[in-house]
Amino acid sequence: MKKVPRPRTAAERQARVVEILRRLDEAYPAAQCALEHKNPWQLLVATILSAQCTDKRVNMVTPGLFQKYPTLQDFASARQVVLEQDIRSTGFFRNKAKSLIGAAKTILSEFGGRVPQTMEEMLRIPGAARKTANVVLGTAFGKAAGVVVDTHVQRIARRLDLTKQKDPGKIEQDLMKALPQEKWILFAHQIIHHGRQVCAARNPACNRCNLERLCYSRDKVLV
């Protein structure tokens, strides 16, 4: 394992974060959300469906779903047992169907049929915890209310020693402190791409990782 010196001062730690961000910009300059959507509501639906499911699978399901249920009203009036079958392949389909119907009803009744644009309001929507809210606020509205923490961000943030926490909420708080706010949205997209392409949970491709020299992970794979 190649040992990497750890920064000792606040200035050194800040400089390291700046370098991490620079290298992510170099590798993924135009990273975007992988969930296909045409508007904030479709993104919210896709994000709810993405829990414990791959984006690839969600993108296979949503075109037909939005064709069958083209409006918020259609989702709000959907029969749950029918919607469950429409989204069955994404897993946890009963809870997800309940959340989608509840989300549509809430947006119609409380927000005039428009997906809200604040974290406080987003968290009132069934199925929208902080991760989902951050995805929608950041991608659909360009609002950096927090940092999306999915499994890739959890794993890589710990490998890069940007956090020592395991709880997603605590990881998000550490990242919000470590990163400049203008980078919160893009950072998550970049790390998710990096996790899929290079920094896998098992057998990470460290030899072709441009962050390797800044990484303290104990499970590096260097051959």
pLDDT in tens, 97-142: 999 999 999 999 999 999 999 999 999 999 999 999 999 999 999 9
- In which band, very low, low, confident or very high, does the pLDDT at 221 lie, cut at 50, 70 and 90? confident
> Are 45 and 100 contacting, i.e. CB atoms less than 8 angstroms apart?
yes
Helix axis angle, 184-197 to 151-159, nearest 10°? 90
**CB neighbour burial string for 149-170, b if at least 16 within 10 angstroms, e if fewer:** bbebbbbbbbbbbbbebeebee
Specify the pLDDT at position 101: 98
Give kind and range of the element (H or E) at residue 43: helix 40-49
Helix axis angle, 10-27 to 184-197, nearest 10°? 60
Phi, psi angles (nearest 5°) of residue 69 = -125, 80
More confident residue, 178 or 3: 178
Taking the C-alpha atoms of residue 162 and residue 6, their distance in angstroms, rounded to an integer, is 12
- In which band, very low, low, confident or very high, does the pLDDT at 5 lie, cut at 50, 70 and 90? confident
Active site (catalytic) residues = 131, 150
Give the closest residue to 41 by CA, choosing from 147, 127, 130: 127
Task: Please tell me the pTM assigned to this model.
Answer: 0.93
pLDDT digits (tens, 9 = 90+) for 161-210: 999 999 999 999 999 999 999 999 999 999 999 999 999 999 999 999 99
